Structure 1
């Protein structure tokens, strides 16, 4: 049986579906099983209970275990878990010692390597779902306000991350691999705003703001620390002079091209309407 943590998250929900379609038995963890709305074929359990009996492989979303993995990995080994697939991050490729996001994910990766279990670290770049933070502005018809209009990114559809994770859990071809996952195109934020507007059938606007104004706005959010804000602004500015290259890994691993951002926008048009 495969354990999926963060099963109601952007990636986890699609991963549960991928695994069930492939005929796997799935135990899906969520904070509140009563409101999870997961497929009936999945066994749903509370994250706080963390039942590991009968589990052979684990999909690990680090957001669920932000304070550390030691207890979970020790218990997993005791229960005979053979493989861990981690939702890591392409930020691990950044060599800036001030990148706290990279350091945190690398710490998780190292702990899993040291556990002695088989592992795969999926390293997605920017999630297309990050643009859901624009929905209030787009719904209201006001401009999306962000710094660094010329910054470029390779937004990846969460379904593609889930498809790669499913391959890593169901087959042996990705054991010991650290695939960097991206969408198939390089886009600016104004590009993505325009594409969302096309998906919902009305124009959406972008307005560039100063990095200092963006910093103040980001720090006002309860889940944003100064370290995270610094990293995000640093990576955004860096991508102007060192734009990211789309990775071929989604297509290589799944056998089909990664989804374009316009496909993501069409799938999520209801979130912006």
Structure 2
């Protein structure tokens, strides 16, 4: 299969983003501000009882799922960018108008997997608070690592879902997730490597007052969208050849 290399995808992202970083960074900041604002007003204060922890966890899960409409809007923004369409910061709200129920359903998969994968480690952290046993700390770290791996794998396999939602809005959430899984077959490591290649830029941004991270985030999002564009174009080419 003639997929583009990571360098080619990054070059495409850079070219399409020229002169538009202000809009892209503004959109990312807007999403971050909304997430922080909603999270700040959504927790129940009080003593650290088990019931309170459960309530706050449920609230956090629900909010993160609903915020899927913003993730959908961000995908729409970067798709407009890569397909040479006009882009605006307000594009992040497009997910509220375009199949919001499907965006929430897709987001629910990521949020619930993240929660379930983190529960075992959290339980051992709570157990350590009572026992102070070193074995509980070691087990918690082990389970945390396993949970992280699960999260990464699921995130990669279904990473194309929000893009597919905008390209094929008539498909159900289940069909969209299945399409992402099919597109990513044999491409999981490619996307993993692509995202890992941004680590040096993130580290550089972290040691230079963090401000460059705004550019790095926009650059990575554009590159990930270029990855989708390459995937879908290659899949369409294969279908044409088969027919």
Does the pair score TM above 0.5? no
- TM-score, scaled relative to structure 1: 0.26
Query: Which structure has the higher relative contact order (CA within 8 Å, separation 6+)?
Result: 2
Greater percentage in strand: 1
Greater percentage in helix: 2
